[in-house]
Amino acid sequence: MPTMSLWMRGTSTLVAAYVILYLFDWSLFSWHPLCMTLGYAVLMGEAVRIAIDFRSTEGQERVKRITRHMLVNLGTLALITVGFASIYKNKASIRLGKDHYKSYHAKLGLFVFIMTVFVVAGGLLSFKKLGLINIFPEKHHGLVKTLHRLGGGTTFFLSLVVMELGCMTGAVKKHGVFVQSMLQISIAAIFVMMLVFSAKGSGTGNPSGSYSQVNNSRNTREEDHYEISMEKLPVSSSSFESSR
């Protein structure tokens, strides 16, 4: 679904642009909305789209997309860690010992941050080359990958809810109704478009190919076919994907 992908990328870029123009002023606090927006709306959204797409690809193209998915997710984790650290340090310096995580935005945001750490860790766990997945019996390896996929999708959608809650705080409201409304509408649009994109699968029009639906038999057949096809590729690519 190239058209839908372009719309989502464009809308994510619009949200990031509004945050940069209106919320970012180089203060410690402003790094929080900037890094969280770039991390979730831009990078994690891209990682989810890549994950949906590469399920219908094989060979060298699949290797490239899985590699890109991994790198984008690591970039997401790096950005949101900076965003989390900036807001925590900012509140620690101005609240003088008062409790953190009092608002719904803060509480759900903390939960999503923790989920993101587990999702990225689950992605690394899925790489057989690292050997970590061998902690589990081989019959459960498919389940580990499925949990990673479902966890990633759930985390992304919850991150958009957290962003919507953030738009209701004073940090955004002070810039006026227009800025607040544009951010809220754009974030909601990303949410809806990603739902449609995931329901369509990779543009097949078959809801059973969705990112959020578990279809273990289909996944197993695809992985078995892919492992056979990868034997014909150069060693550098084959060795990487065999760890998937």
Sorted by sequence, the CB contacts under 8 Å of residue 109 that are 6+ apart come out as 36, 162, 165, 166
Q: How far apart are CA 65 and CA 54, in angstroms?
A: 6
Q: How far apart are CA 79 and CA 87, in angstroms?
A: 13
Helix 45-54 vs helix 2-18: crossing angle, to nearest 10 = 170
pLDDT at residue 139, rounded to an integer: 86
Q: How far apart are CA 231 and CA 228, in angstroms?
A: 6
Residues of the chain with pLDDT under 50: 202-244
Number of CB atoms found within 10 A of residue 155's CB: 23
pLDDT at residue 140, rounded to an integer: 85
pLDDT at residue 216, rounded to an integer: 41
pLDDT at residue 165, rounded to an integer: 98
User: What's the Rg (C-alpha) of the chain?
Assistant: 19
DSSP 99: P
The domain defined by 2-241 carries CATH number 1.10.3720.10: no
